[in-house]
Structure 1
Amino acid sequence: MTIASCGSVSATTLGLPNSTAIPAEKARLPKGLFVAKIPVSAKTKQRLANDIESITMLSLLQARNTKLAAGTRVPEILVIGLRLHEPNAAVPTDIVELIAMQRKSGMLFVCVRDADFEGTTRQECAFAVRRALPARAGHTTTSKVFASDWQPAGEATLNATDPAVDSMDALWESLCSQVILDDPSPIDVNTRLARRMQIAQLTAQVDKLTRDHQRAKNPEQRNEIYAKLHKMKRQLEELQGQ
């Protein structure tokens, strides 16, 4: 069986079990499939048509072909390759959102592009997932597309063998953790994600207050800003130390 690939990337090169690989003849998905049943903006339609060269199913991870326990939230995980048309293209988060929102099970996207590198061109890969953001009880849940950094396509791998991964639910948590946090552990992903987001928010606020403090002329205003800055720096140090 010839297995599906997106550029030079396949289930095998990603380190996924051969039992999960999709046959090449069944792998290609028509772009029109994703705009046929839901309203889509003209801009997203244009990006789908012009920026995405092809959409390919690379792997379908299920309890039966991974030897994991069935999931209660995630029955299966589909790994989809997006071959990007333009060199040095960014991860197409709007296209990931468009496709992922139409399917309840987990979807991991493998974005493949050509990129300039040291006077030549190489193929690069980035992973993306759509995941609900951590929310307090009673608050509306929203989702966001997260993407990993770009890396050489030949070095892009996914770890499906973490010792704590014992079910499809845990596998999905592990894959999300790899994409978002660069860590295969499926434990407390929402907690770790919330902390990462808090750190990013506080870092931005510290940077802004630092600039405000440098610009402030009034001594009273400078002292007020400094007090806020000192408090936020302490909060940031506490979070980074956890």
Structure 2
Amino acid sequence: MTVTAAQVAHCGSVSALSLGLPISTAIPVAKGTLPKAAVVGRTPISAKLKQRLTNDIESITLLSLMRAANTGLELGRLIPEVLVIGLKLTGKAGSVPVEVIELIASQRKSGIVFACVREVPFEGGTREECAFAVRRAQPGRAGHMPNYQVYTGEWLPAGECQLEIAGGTIDELWMSLCSQTILGTPEVADLDARITRHAQIAKLEADIDKLARDHQRAKNPAQRNELYAKLHKAKTQLAQLREG
């Protein structure tokens, strides 16, 4: 049966189709709802995480399932499929629910893009926003146990959030979706190096902001000079990273 736009699963207004994904990958509305108990499975979880699931997550919805058969891509060697799961946040959740994403993604071999959806005040009313998140191994040395991290993108108006099917295999598709989430581009070349550079830039920007504020508040001349030197060094490092 062909799935129409009115019959696909939604998380708020966000669906596979609103994200720009092919209708062949969209999940029918009748099969989209994922009970919280089902995503937890048999994994023991802390009382704090259970509370977050209850208080911060309004609903969990499977929006899209991307496989070789419905994307035209070749089979992957590492990733069998990629899911897009919508997390509708309650008014109590102000940020991406990293612990919940870690719980869900750590139990599955599939690549998962999480579309987090929230309502926020805007110009006297409210608007719906969406932010993507993925859990992937941090860049590291070959042969070492991988450390996983949840990476999040920026909050955008829900109608502006898009995902692109790119690459020749499901493995490359997953890498591209990670790149789209973290870096805002579908390119997969040198992904680990680009993620590392992105993290270094973000840290330097935060350091510069703090150093600038500390320098403004400092009264002691020696302390001001020391902070200025650190600030100048951080700005130089940031300029070099951006140029590279």
TM-score of the superposed pair, with normalisation by structure 2: 0.88
Secondary structure in structure 2 of the residue aligned to 1:194: helix
Matched, 1:186 2:192: no
Matched, 1:147 2:152: yes
Aligned residue number for residue 235 of structure 1:
237
Q: 1:222 to 1:114 in 2, by over 3 A?
A: closer
Instruction: Provide the C-alpha distance between the structure 2 equivalents of 1:203 and 1:139, rounded to a whole number of angstroms.
Output: 30
Aligned match for 2:138, one of 126, 133, 139 = 133
Matched, 1:18 2:18: no
- The number of residues matched between the two structures is 238
Shift of 1:195: 0.4
One-letter amino acid matched to 1:192: R
Kept in 1, the 8 Å contact 2:80–2:109? The answer is: no
Deviation readout 1:68-97 (Å, 9 max, x if unpaired): 111111110011011112177321111111
Q: How does 1:151-230 map to 2 (within 5 A)?
A: 151-160=156-165, 162=166, 165-210=167-212, 215=218, 217=220, 219=222, 226-230=228-232
Instruction: Provide the C-alpha distance between the structure 1 equivalents of 2:118 and 2:206, rounded to a whole number of angstroms.
Output: 30
Q: Which moved more, 1:151-160 or 1:170-179?
A: 151-160
One-letter amino acid matched to 1:29: L
Secondary structure in structure 2 of the residue aligned to 1:124: strand
One-letter amino acid matched to 2:177: L
Instruction: Provide the C-alpha distance between the structure 1 equivalents of 2:235 and 2:160, rounded to a whole number of angstroms.
Output: 37
Q: 5+ residue gaps in structure 1?
A: none
Instruction: Provide the C-alpha distance between the structure 1 equivalents of 2:225 and 2:89, rounded to a whole number of angstroms.
Output: 51
Instruction: Provide the C-alpha distance between the structure 2 equivalents of 1:154 and 1:198, rounded to a whole number of angstroms.
Output: 30
Percentage identity across paired residues of the two chains: 56
TM-score of the superposed pair, with normalisation by structure 1: 0.89
Q: 1:201 to 1:138 in 2, by over 3 A?
A: farther
Q: Which moved more, 1:124-133 or 1:34-43?
A: 34-43
Q: How does 1:29-44 map to 2 (within 5 A)?
A: 29-44=34-49
Deviation readout 1:99-120 (Å, 9 max, x if unpaired): 1111111000111111211111
Shift of 1:35: 2.9
One-letter amino acid matched to 1:236: L
Kept in 2, the 8 Å contact 1:87–1:116? The answer is: no
Instruction: Provide the C-alpha distance between the structure 1 equivalents of 2:169 and 2:114, rounded to a whole number of angstroms.
Output: 20
Aligned residue number for residue 105 of structure 1:
110
Q: 5+ residue gaps in structure 2?
A: none
Shift of 1:51: 1.6
Instruction: Provide the C-alpha distance between the structure 2 equivalents of 1:137 and 1:210, rounded to a whole number of angstroms.
Output: 38
Q: 1:201 to 1:151 in 2, by over 3 A?
A: closer
Kept in 2, the 8 Å contact 1:87–1:113? The answer is: no
Shift of 1:211: 5.1
Shift of 1:205: 3.4
Aligned residue number for residue 78 of structure 1:
83
Shift of 1:137: 4.0
Aligned residue number for residue 45 of structure 1:
50
Shift of 1:15: 0.6
After superposition, the CA RMSD in angstroms is 2.1
Instruction: Provide the C-alpha distance between the structure 1 equivalents of 2:213 and 2:118, rounded to a whole number of angstroms.
Output: 37
